[in-house]
């Protein structure tokens, strides 16, 4: 669902890496529970250490930083759950339920916006780490890109058949659409996170118009 909270989903699934030692398993389980309960920013490593019954230095020795601890949980979950998350997205943002391409894009933006609102702290950490860690980009992007590209590509074919989109190769259209939406979300949640409801509605409307009139078949 669009408002799924990733940390709560991880708690529900309880599928942690079997490569971890019993001590690491306990640290990760405690971190997930605290992140889900209090939020990432409001949880300290000392609280995680206390809940997991280890010294705070043990956390730093195994993970280095709280960001690394979070990513050790999030990255495997995203890779494993991406097909299910993509399936939910396809069901909620379906071209069959959006006659016009404009309606589809607005539905997509609102869906992903709700998802990021429910996971804003995680999104900020992941974006920051993606900028500096090549291995994380290589690890996550193939999974995310494959599912999103397939979903958007199928929708593009539908709207091309309806005569709504310009005759631009699908891979170019996908890059333009996703990079435009993605960069707007980075600004919205990372660079300028304070946005009220009225501004948000204007941003959605402007973003939809920018994408639609940039790739439409109309003169």
pLDDT value for 108? 95
- pTM here is 0.82
CA 114, CA 185: separation in Å to the nearest integer? 11
Q: What are the residue ranges spanned by the domains of the chain?
A: 3-213
pLDDT value for 2? 65
CA 58, CA 20: separation in Å to the nearest integer? 14
Question: Could you list the mean pLDDT of each consecutive 10-residue stretch along the chain, which spans 219 residues?
Answer: 76 61 83 85 91 91 88 82 86 91 95 90 84 80 80 93 91 92 89 72 92 72
Contacts of 181 (CB under 8 A, 6+ apart): 108, 109, 112, 207, 211
Contacts of 103 (CB under 8 A, 6+ apart): none
Phi, psi (rounded to 5 degrees) for 94: -110, 125
Q: Which CATH number fits domain 3-213: 3.40.50.720, 3.40.50.300, 1.10.357.10, 3.40.30.10?
A: 1.10.357.10
């Amino acid at each position: 669902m669009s408002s799924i909270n990733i940390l709560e989903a991880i708690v529900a699934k309880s599928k942690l890496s079997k490569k971890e030692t019993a001590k690491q398993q306990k640290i990760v389980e405690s971190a997930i529970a605290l992140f889900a309960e209090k939020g990432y920013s409001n949880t300290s490593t000392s609280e995680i250490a206390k809940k997991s019954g280890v010294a705070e230095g043990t956390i730093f020795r195994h993970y280095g930083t709280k960001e690394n601890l979070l990513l050790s949980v999030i990255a495997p979950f995203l890779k494993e759950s991406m097909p299910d998350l993509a399936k939910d997205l396809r069901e909620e943002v379906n071209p069959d339920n959006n006659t016009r391409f404009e309606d589809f894009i607005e539905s997509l933006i609102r869906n992903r916006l709700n998802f990021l609102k429910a996971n804003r702290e995680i999104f900020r950490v992941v974006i920051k780490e993606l900028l500096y860690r090549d291995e994380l980009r290589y690890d996550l992007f193939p999974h995310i890109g494959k599912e999103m590209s397939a979903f958007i590509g199928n929708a593009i074919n539908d709207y091309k058949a309806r005569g709504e989109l310009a005759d631009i190769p699908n891979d170019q259209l996908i890059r333009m659409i996703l990079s435009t939406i993605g960069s707007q979300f980075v600004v919205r949640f990372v660079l300028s996170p304070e946005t009220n409801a009225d501004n948000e509605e204007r941003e959605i409307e402007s973003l939809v118009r920018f994408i639609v009139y940039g790739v439409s078949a109309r003169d």
